[in-house]
Amino acid sequence: MPKRLRTPVVVCALMCSSFVTQTALAEGAVNINPPTELLQWAESTDRNGLDAQVPTVAREVLIQRIAKLRASLVRHEEELQAAVEEKQLGIGDAIITALIPGGLLYAGYRKHAWDEAKDNLARVSDQIDELADELLSFQYATGTVVVAQLH
């Protein structure tokens, strides 16, 4: 390639590479705008008398979303309880462990799966308890305005 064509070719390649990268990043970007049905605008006056509109969270919509999330977590908790019962070591597993070569490996695998299922169940149960507390606090909070944090 002649020397005088190298610079434009390199510049063009860099520009195309940059454009492709920016397009890929833009397509993969997460939408950080809050949903419009969740936000409301409230009038606010500061101590200097300046009136402003601030975004507030629609309490009813937020309560509905928390309740919906809690209900889905309760269903997931029931599935995890069934998985814990299914993965618990039984008499058949003890027989396999004792009779078959490599039975201890099998028992270790089953015990690990059971421990993991128990940990997942405990985590989901904690999340359900937290959501229940938050749901109660949102339902019974009086006179407070929940201001949305926009970044």
Kindly report, residue by residue over 97-110, the tens digit of the pLDDT: 888 888 888 888 88
Whether residue 97 is contained in a domain is answered as: yes
Q: Same domain, yes or no, for 87 and 23?
A: no
Residue 66 and residue 134 in one domain: yes
Domain that holds residue 130: 58-140
Q: Which residue has the tokens 């299914």?
A: 86
Domain assignment present for residue 50? The answer is: no
pLDDT for residue 20 = 46
Distances (CA, A) of 20 to 6, 8, 29, 55, 86: 21, 18, 14, 36, 49
CA dist 8 and 2 (Å) reads 11
Mean pLDDT across 106-122: 90
Instruction: Name the nearest CA neighbour of 131 among 51, 67, 55.
Output: 67
Band (151; pLDDT cuts 50, 70, 90): very low
Going by pLDDT thresholds of 50, 70 and 90, the confidence category of residue 1 is low
pLDDT of 142 reads 43
> 10-39: per-residue pLDDT in tens?
555 555 555 545 554 455 554 555 566 667
Determine which of 97-106, 112-121, 142-151 has the lowest per-residue pLDDT on average: 142-151
Q: Over 80: is that where the pLDDT of 139 sits?
A: no
Residue 52 inside a domain? The answer is no
**Whether residues 136 and 64 fall in one domain:** yes
Q: What digits encode the pLDDT tens for the residues 48-86? A: 888 888 777 777 787 888 888 888 989 999 999 999 998
88 occurs within a structural domain: yes
Q: Give yes or no: residues 2 and 75 share one domain.
A: no
Q: Verify that 25 and 71 share a domain, yes or no.
A: no
